[in-house]
Structures are given as C-alpha cells and as structure tokens.
Structure 1
Amino acid sequence: MTSLRKNLAVLILFLSASPLLHSHLFTHAASTSAPATRAQIIFVTGLNSDDNYEDDYLDDDNHSTPPKVVESVQTTLLQQKPQLCQYNPCLENQEPCNQISERTGCLCPGVSGGDEPPHAPRIQVLQPISEGGDRGKIEVQWCAPSSVVSGYRVVIEGRETLEFQKVSRRGLVISLEVGTKVCVEAVNSAGHSTPSDFSCKRYDPPESSDHKLLAGVIGGGVALFLLLIIAAVILWKHQMRKKAKRDSADGLGNPSYSTEGTL
C-alpha cells in the first residue's frame, strides 16, 4: 500500500515537473477537436453580369445548387417635350384639333365642354370688298374660341342676325353704315357666347383709293390756283416797275423842264 502511494506521488511530481510534456498533451487535445466553421462572404458585383457565381455558393461540405438571382431591369423613359398641334383657330375649313391630336400625338389647347355655353370668339376685321362679284359688301372675319362650337352668328346692331357653320371663319354682310356695331357669337347645344369687347367691333371703313385720288386732285388744284395767284402778283409788280421807269424817263426828255427853274 505504501509503495503504491509512493509510485502515485512520483508520477504526479513527474507530470508537474515536465512542461514540455504538458504542452504536448494540450496541443494534441486541440488538434483532435472539431474544426470551426467559418461564415462565407459572398461579393455581388453586378446584377446584369453573365458571370457564373456557382462556385461562390458551393459549401465545402454540402455541394448544393446556388439560389436563383432575379435580375431587376430598370427602364428609362425618354420624355420628349410636348408639341402643340399645328392648328390655327382663325383659318376656316380646318381639321379639328382633337383629330390632329389623335393622329400625331400633339397637344391641343384647353377646350370647354359641350355642356356649357362656348367662350366668345375674337373678331378680327370688318373689311369692305372692292373687287369681284361681292364688291360693295362687308366681310366679317373672326377666330374660333377654345370651346365646343356647333355654329356662329353675326349679329348686326339694329338689323339682322346671320348664321354660319362651325368651320366658317368669315361671313359677308350686304352693307354697313359707319359706326354700326357688329358682334360674332359662338353657339352650341348649351347656348351661345356672351358678347365682349373682343367679339364686337364698330364699322369704320378705311379710306378707299377713289377717295385718295379725289383728295389728291383737289389738293393739286388748290396748289395750282395758289401758284397762279402768286405768278399774277409777281407779274403785276413787274409791270408797275416798268411803268414807273418809263414815266421817269419821259419827264427828263421835256425841254421845258429844268432843275434851275422855269425859262
């Protein structure tokens, strides 16, 4: 029993006194332990690349197929500057602006609906016609409003009302007196436009070429008359000077006349 204790004590003392053996034992124990698993870091450089990333998703122990990557495609819309339709509201017999817009994709000006009275058109000019078969008549010109229009009316102050189609932009009036007020109204199923300062105009005929010619003739006649008067005055003065000189010469030629007295 005593020898067994001695042997155990010697063994413990040997182990504690051998650091090299102690280090070897701990190193062996660490090498036999299970290896630690490191987390794998995956770097994605682009969604639209055609490279194969299958190797990045393969685990060392479990060779499983990589997950599918859904590519997100961003579409950039190139917005062009909107173009206005080539539509002139002052020209007649034109294609409606909404049809031009459907065909070309252009933009029309804002138009009020057919369920409300139209805006007032803009009258342009009251022009007398001096040539052709309509000579002597007055032409009324206007521009369409930004509204749904089914027709137009030309209202003459104190006289009649003339009706025209929705594609019309001008109408003929038989005759007008100077200062007569003329208005143009737009009409649709909801009513008619209200007269305004730009939809009405008073007739003020421009000076015709005949009037200008007459004024020129009168002015030329007056100028010629004045020239004749001036020429007559100059001629009369010239005659008076000649007569005065002649009278003076006749007095010096008389022998009974002397500066020293009467003989």
Structure 2
Amino acid sequence: SLCGNLAVLLLFLSPLMHSHLFARASTSSPSITRKKAINVEHFTIVNPNTDYDDFSIVHEVVPSAKSPRLNSEVVNTPCEYNSCLENQEPCEMIKAREGCLCPGVSDEDSPPHAPRIETLRPITTGENAGKIEVQWCAPDSVVSSYKVTVEGSGNDLEFGDGARRATVGSLEVGTKVCVEAINKAGHSSYSDFSCKRYERPESLELQLLAGVIGGGIVLILLLIIVAVVLCRRKMCQKAQRESGGGLGNPSYKSERAS
C-alpha cells in the first residue's frame, strides 16, 4: 500500500514538476539578441555594441556633410546697346542671349519720353548736298515711330522705330527742329533736348584762315624774342670791350716809365 501511495503521489506531482522544469528551462535559456540597424542614406550600418531583447529596426537619417555648391556669381553688366545707332538689334534680344542688363523702359501703355537730338549737320557731298541731317537718340521707352518737325515748314516727317536720322531741306540759321517719339499711348512732349536750333558751322576756309593768322602771330612773337636776346648779348659784349680798353695794361705802363 505504501508503494501504491508513492506511485499515486508521483503520478500526481509529475505534471507539476514537468511544467516547472519547462518554465525554468525557458527562463534560463539565453535571450535572442538583435542588432540595431541604422539606415544612413542608402547604407545599412549594424552597431554590434548594442543589444535589444525585441527585434526592432531604427531608421536614423544622418545628414551628410556636403560641401556647399558654389554658385557662380553673375556680374550684371549693361548690354552693349547704343540708343543713338540706327537699325540695331533690340536690347531685349541682347539681354536674353547674354544675360546683361538693359536700361529701364517705360510701359507701352504710357506715352514715351522725349528723344534727344544729337546734332544738326549740313551735308556737303552727294545728292543731298546743301541739306541738313538730323540725328537723335532713342528714349528709354517703347516707341513705334518718330516724327521730325521743322519750324515754319508745315511738313512733318515720320520714320520707323529703328530710325535715328532724317534729312530735311536747307535751313536758315536759327530754325528750330524737334523730334517726337510716338506709341499707342500717345507722343512725347517737346523739351530742351528734343528740340535744337540750327547754327551755321564755320566753313573750312575760315578755319584755315584762323590757323594761318594764329601761326603768323606765334612766329612774330618768336622772332621778337630772338631779336631781344641777340641785342642784349651784343650790348653785353660791347660793354666788356669798352671796360677792357679803358683800364689798359698797368704793367706795360710801368715798364715804359722805367
């Protein structure tokens, strides 16, 4: 009966002992370690010095130290555009091609600024000899055409936006010539630099005569200076001779006396 009781007791305790041993074995078994994975811009780095009981992936974005890209400095220089030249390439096209700066231009919905007359030049050769050529510079505005007005003539001459010169008839001295700029918003107003009075230039003969007179005056002054210098030199030499002759030779006189 004792053996039977022990057998029954072992049968009763065997499941408890089995579960206890299984739990102890499970707790005493080494834990599963996971390595920390760091994703650094398309590269995976495993840190072996850090253990984790639970598997986890940590994404850490580490910014790379890139050297800043040096942007080339664009030097803003004025475009090679001359507003006084005729039929040249528009400044906006030069700007688009070369990246330069154009002068500020007023809006096309505003009346243009006044152009500037450069000169009223008489024509001396060719079929237009005896006439006057008007030259002007374009304003910093949108211009569709130009109008040249001659005082007292009653005839206005119109030219395209690329024109910078016009030929008018012979003018009397003091005749006023004006140039207007026109666009769809209106026309420019007259100003001191968009109008100019014709003044007869000096002829070539007068310029040559003035040069000959000036050269003659300079030559006469040079001759006078040379004559004065020579006269003073001769006077000095004469004074030296007279002073030498008046004193004589004292040693010569003493020898004759003896």
TM-score category (smaller protein):
0.5 to 0.7
Shift of 1:85: 1.4
Candidates 190, 200, 206, aligned match of 2:195:
200
Letter in 2 for 1:179: G
Rg comparison, structure with higher value: 1
Q: Does the alignment pair 1:134 with 2:128?
A: yes
SS of 1:55 mapped into structure 2: strand
The residue number in structure 1 matching 2:113 is 119
The residue number in structure 2 matching 1:64 is 56
The residue number in structure 1 matching 2:148 is 154
SS of 1:98 mapped into structure 2: helix
The residue number in structure 2 matching 1:170 is 165
C-alpha contact (below 8 Å) 1:84/1:106 kept by paired residues: yes
Residues 3-18 of structure 1 mapped to structure 2, 5 A cutoff: none
Candidates 51, 54, 61, aligned match of 2:46:
54
**1:94-127: per-residue Cα shift (whole Å, max 9, x none)?**
0111122222222211111111110000110001
C-alpha contact (below 8 Å) 1:177/1:203 kept by paired residues: yes
What is the TM-score normalised by the length of structure 2?
0.59
Residue 76 and residue 216 in structure 1: after superposition, are their counterparts in 2 closer, same or farther (change >3 A)? closer
Letter in 2 for 1:113: D
**Alignment RMSD (CA, Å):** 3.1
Candidates 68, 77, 85, aligned match of 1:91:
85
C-alpha contact (below 8 Å) 1:120/1:193 kept by paired residues: yes
Q: Which has the higher strand share?
A: 2
C-alpha contact (below 8 Å) 1:121/1:143 kept by paired residues: yes
C-alpha contact (below 8 Å) 1:101/1:107 kept by paired residues: yes
User: Is there any run of 5+ residues in structure 2 with no aligned partner, and where?
Assistant: 1-39, 214-258
Letter in 2 for 1:169: R
Shift of 1:86: 1.2
- How far apart in 2 are the matches of 1:140 and 1:70? 72
Letter in 1 for 2:185: A
SS of 1:153 mapped into structure 2: strand
- How far apart in 1 are the matches of 2:175 and 2:49? 93
Shift of 1:214: 7.1
User: Is there any run of 5+ residues in structure 1 with no aligned partner, and where?
Assistant: 1-46, 220-263
What is the aligned residue count? 174
Residue 53 and residue 138 in structure 1: after superposition, are their counterparts in 2 closer, same or farther (change >3 A)? same
The residue number in structure 2 matching 1:109 is 103
Letter in 1 for 2:126: G
What is the TM-score normalised by the length of structure 1?
0.58
C-alpha contact (below 8 Å) 1:54/1:65 kept by paired residues: no
**1:164-215: per-residue Cα shift (whole Å, max 9, x none)?**
1110111111111001111111111111101111111111121111444677
Identity of aligned residues (%): 56
Candidates 159, 162, 180, aligned match of 1:185:
180
Letter in 1 for 2:164: R
- How far apart in 1 are the matches of 2:49 and 2:138? 72
